[in-house]
Copies of this chain bind each other. A is one copy, B any other.
Amino acid sequence: MENTQETRARDKQSGRTYGGESAEERLARQRRQFLDAGLELFGTVGYRATTVRMLCKQAGLTDRYFYKTFTDTEDLLAAVYTESLDQIQTEVIAAINASGNRQPTSGVIDAGLEAFFTAFENARVARVCWLEVLGVSPRIDALYTKRIEQFADLLLDLGKSVLADWRLPEAETRITGLALIGAISQSALHWLLEDYCSSRSSLISANSRLIHGLINILPKGS
């Protein structure tokens, strides 16, 4: 059906170099600029108050390029959120693996918590991940749920690897993981909302105690 010059010309970027950049490089750079602008604006004035025009001004690009890469501001929010959490998750896992001494549980847990809270010392990241992302749309809610569950699974896998046999029924295991993530994230949220007036170490120690208390009371076997 006439997939000729017309159609081909209308395709995104026909692919010419411009300013020393290939078409893909330009698209990637624009995407990055919008991601940065999104984190900056969503993390300060908030998602609801952020308009396409503001994003473009912040990114130093024109409206057209926004719609070339994203469909919505919501689309950008999802991208910013995903990228932030990807990075944090990577850092937490790295910290856990780095604290190689897996036997004394406390070391691993505190290392993970430290990486976690350190990442959320960036107020923009914290605000986007815990405040702005909630109640936007069913799609974003689903994304949020998925990421929280990923973190819960990370925590539970760690627990199961440390405690040889795990005797908690599956349903309660899931809820327990979510509850722990909730405890940690609520701490982080209040940390942000109170302008980080508590010390990071007190956050780590309070949450660490919670986790140790749980491990202690788990049904034990053998």
Q: For A101, what are the chain B residues with a Cβ–Cβ distance below 8 Å?
A: none
Pick from A2-10, A28-36, A52-60, A178-186 the stretch touching chain B: A178-186
Residue A216 is within 8 A (CB to CB) of chain B in the complex = yes
Residue A150 is within 8 A (CB to CB) of chain B in the complex = no
The answer, among B46, B144, B194, B209, for a CB contact under 8 Å with A214, is B209
- Name 17 interchain pairs, CB-CB below 8 A, sorted by A: A131-B135, A134-B134, A141-B193, A142-B193, A145-B190, A145-B193, A148-B190, A172-B205, A175-B207, A176-B206, A178-B186, A179-B207, A181-B186, A182-B186, A209-B214, A213-B214, A213-B215
Q: A131-B135, A182-B186, A186-B186 are in contact. List 18 more A-B contacts (CB 8 A).
A: A130-B134, A131-B134, A141-B193, A142-B193, A145-B193, A172-B205, A175-B202, A179-B183, A179-B184, A179-B187, A180-B183, A182-B187, A183-B183, A183-B186, A212-B217, A213-B214, A213-B215, A214-B214
Using a CB–CB cutoff of 8 Å, the interface residues on chain A facing chain B are: 46-48, 127, 130-136, 141-142, 144-145, 148, 171-172, 174-176, 178-187, 189-190, 193-194, 198-199, 202-203, 205-207, 209-210, 212-217
